[in-house]
Structure 1
Amino acid sequence: MTRSTSVVVQRLCSAVSPGARSQRFTRFLACATLLTFSIIGGQSHADTQNTFRISAIPDEAPTELIRKFEPLADYLSQVLEMPVSFVPVTDYAAAVEALVSEQIDMAWLGGFTYVQAAQRSDGKVEPIVQRAEDERFQSVFITQTDSAIQSIADLKGVSFSFGSPSSTSGHLMPRHYLSSEGIDVDNDLSIAFSGAHDATAFSVAGGRVAAGALNIKVWEKLVEEGKVDTDKLRVFYTTPEYHDYNWTIRPALSSDIRGKLIDAFIALDPENESDRIILDLQRATRFVPTEASFYDGIKRAAIAAELLGSN
C-alpha cells in the first residue's frame, strides 16, 4: 500500500518573554496550539478518517527524523491497511498539542513530553510501547577535550547548553541531576537551549558553550557516524538510568487499532532484515509494552524543577 508523506515547513514560534518556568511552558503550549492547527488543521474530515497520522518530538534535524520514520510508516501502513503519514512539527510543545487535540493519532514522545501530554489530556493519552533501551535511559554531559571541566562541580560559572526546554534527556533529567549535585542551574550556569541533541553537541564542538547535555543514544550515533570528533569532544559525566521515550496514542483511538499497533511494534524482529532496518533507524534492539506509571519519576522531577504546572 502506498503511503503519503507530509513534509511541513513552518517558522518557529516567536520568542517567549521571561517569567516563571511553568508560565513559559504555558505560553509555549498556547503558541503551539496555533501552530499545530496551521500545520494540520486544514486537512479534510475524509483525510482524518483514511490516513493514520504520526509525529515525533523534533529532537534531531528534520531531515533525519523523516529518514528515521519513513520505513516505520511503510510498515505500519501495511499493518493498519491504510496510509500512514508522518507529520513533522516545529517544536516539542506542538507535538504535545497535536496529540492532545487529536490532530495526530500517535506521537513519539520523550518521558517529559508524555507527562505534559498526560496532564493536558487529563490522563486520556496512552503510552503503548517503548524501546527496551528506554527502560534504562541516560544522558551524557560533554565538553571539549582540552577543557578544564572534569566533573559537575567544575561547571559553576560556565556556559552550558541544554536541548529543548521540553526534552527529558536534553533538559529535565540533566537539570535534575545537576541540582542533586549542588548546582543551582539558573544561577550557577549561563544557560542556552540549542533545540535538539545534535545541535547541543555541535554547539560544544564549535565553542559556543563550554559544556552541554544530550541524549546518550544521539551522542553514540554522532560518534559512530563520525559527526563529532572524540579527539576534540569527551564525555565527563553520565547520569543514572531513567525511563524515557515512548509511542503514545491519542485519546479515544479505537481498541482495534491500538491492539494492532502494539502487536506490530512487539513483532519487529532483529533477525528479519526489513525489521532490522526499522529497529536500527529507531536505535532499538526491540520494542516492549510500557505504561503510564513508569514515568512517575519524571513527573516528580518536573514538579520539583517547576517545569510542570498544576493544571
Structure 2
Amino acid sequence: MNDSASAPQIDHPLGTEPHVHLSRRRLLLAGAAALMGASARAQTGAPAVLRVTAIPDEAPTELARKFAPLGRYLESQLGLKVEWTPVTDYAAAVEALVNRKVDLAWFGGFTFVQASERSGGKVVPLVQREEDAKFRSVFITAADSGIKTLLDLKGRTFSFGSASSTSGHLMPRHFLLAAGIQPEADFKRLAFSGAHDATIAAVASGKVDAGALNISVWDKFVADKKVDPQQVKVFFTTPAYYDYNWSVHADMAAPLRDKLRQAFLSLDGSNPAQQEILSLQRATRFIPTAAENYQGIRAAAASAGLLK
C-alpha cells in the first residue's frame, strides 16, 4: 500500500500554498498601509510632494541653481519630496499658489499683495530674509551718461524690470512719482526688461540710459565682477521698504506650515552646509513675517494704479 495515497490532504486558505498565502497577505497589508497613509495625508493636508516655485526675477538656470541646496535641506527637515516648479512670469507664480498648483512660493512684496488679493486673503507669508525688512532698489546708469539725480531722467530712455516686480518696478515707480516724474510722460522711451539681470544688461549695453533694480542682485553682480561699477554706476538708492517672502496657501495644514516655518528659521550660518544655502538665498538669516508688513507695498501699488 502506498503511504502517500493515504496521507491526509491539507486544505490551505484561498486554495494556495502557505507561502503564496503569506505573500498575498503581505500585499493586502501593504495596500492597507498605503491607503491609511493617503487618508492621513488627506486629513492633515500634507502633500506627497512639496511643490515650490519663485517669481522669475533672474534667469531660470540661476533660480534652479539657488534653490537646489535649499530643496535638499527642506526634504531632510520635512520628510517630504521637494520639487522645484519653474514658472514663465510673475503672474504665473501668483496663480500657481492661489490655485494650489504649488505649495510654497517665493514672492516679492508686490506679488505677495497680488496673491493676497487674488485669493481673498488666503495666501500666508511665513518668513522673510532679515534683509527684506529693510530692502532697497537702486537706479543705475552708464558712468558717462551725465545722469546724477532722478530729475535728470526726464527725456531719457529707461527700463524697469518686470511689471509685477516690487524692487524692479513698483517701488522705483513710487519714488519717481514722489520726485515729480511721471514715467509714461517724462521718459523718452520706457521699457520692461523682465528681470533684474536683464536690466543691468540693458543699461550696460546702451539699450537704455538708465534702469532700476533689486539692490541685492546689483551687489551680487558687482561682487562676482559681472558688471564694472566704473562703467555702470548707481546714482540713486531708495529708502527702505519690506520686500520678499516665502508664502503658502492658508489651506496648508497648520502642523506642516509650522514645520516649514521652523525649517527656515533654523538655518544657521555657523553650519557650512546651511551657510551655503543662506549665501545662495542672499540672506544672513530668515525671520518670521506677517501680512501687515506689506501694507506699505499695498498702499504704494494702489496709489500708482497698479493694484487691480
TM range (shorter): 0.7 to 0.9
> Which residue is 2:91 aligned to?
93
Distance in 2, matches of 1:49 and 1:268, equals 23
1:173-192 pair list within 5 angstroms: 173-189=171-187, 190-192=189-191
Distance in 2, matches of 1:182 and 1:124, equals 36
Structure 2 unaligned spans of 5+: 1-41
Shift of 1:251: 2.9
Shift of 1:276: 0.1
> Which residue is 1:126 aligned to?
124
- The amino acid across from 2:173 in the alignment is R
1:22-61 pair list within 5 angstroms: 49-61=47-59
Shift of 1:49: 3.5
Distance in 1, matches of 2:165 and 2:47, equals 31
Q: Map Cα deviations across residues 204-227 of structure 1 (whole Å, 9 max, x no partner).
A: 000000000000000000001111
Distance in 2, matches of 1:293 and 1:156, equals 35
- The TM-score normalised by the length of structure 1 is 0.84
Q: Find the residue that maps to 1:148 and give its secondary structure.
A: coil
Distance in 1, matches of 2:289 and 2:307, equals 22
1:65 aligns with 2:63: yes
Are the aligned partners of 1:102 and 1:251 in contact in 2 as well (CA < 8 Å)?
A: no
Q: Find the residue that maps to 1:49 and give its secondary structure.
A: coil
Q: Find the residue that maps to 2:47 and give its secondary structure.
A: helix
Distance in 2, matches of 1:139 and 1:104, equals 28
> Which residue is 1:153 aligned to?
151
1:195-210 pair list within 5 angstroms: 195-210=194-209
Distance in 2, matches of 1:86 and 1:290, equals 23
- The amino acid across from 2:98 in the alignment is V
Shift of 1:299: 0.3
Distance in 1, matches of 2:203 and 2:68, equals 30
Shift of 1:186: 1.2
Q: Which of structure 1's runs of 4+ aligned residues deviate more than 4 A?
A: none
1:218 aligns with 2:229: no
Q: Map Cα deviations across residues 174-220 of structure 1 (whole Å, 9 max, x no partner).
A: 00000000001111012100000010001000000000000000000
Q: Map Cα deviations across residues 134-182 of structure 1 (whole Å, 9 max, x no partner).
A: 0000000000011110100100011100000000000000000000000
Distance in 2, matches of 1:122 and 1:79, equals 30
Q: Map Cα deviations across residues 16-51 of structure 1 (whole Å, 9 max, x no partner).
A: xxxxxxxxxxxxxxxxxxxxxxxxxxxxx9xx9311
Distance in 1, matches of 2:249 and 2:47, equals 14
Q: Find the residue that maps to 2:158 and give its secondary structure.
A: strand
1:293 aligns with 2:292: yes
- The TM-score normalised by the length of structure 2 is 0.84
- Give aligned pairs, total: 263
Distance in 2, matches of 1:238 and 1:67, equals 28
> Which residue is 1:244 aligned to?
243
Distance in 2, matches of 1:202 and 1:148, equals 19
- The amino acid across from 2:77 in the alignment is V
- The amino acid across from 1:89 in the alignment is V
Distance in 2, matches of 1:139 and 1:272, equals 30
Shift of 1:229: 1.0
- The amino acid across from 1:136 in the alignment is K
Q: Find the residue that maps to 2:63 and give its secondary structure.
A: helix
> Which residue is 2:259 aligned to?
260
> Which residue is 1:272 aligned to?
271
- The amino acid across from 2:134 in the alignment is R
> Which residue is 2:104 aligned to?
106
Distance in 2, matches of 1:250 and 1:94, equals 15
Q: Map Cα deviations across residues 80-138 of structure 1 (whole Å, 9 max, x no partner).
A: 10110010001000000000000000100000000000000000110010000000000
> Which residue is 2:78 aligned to?
80
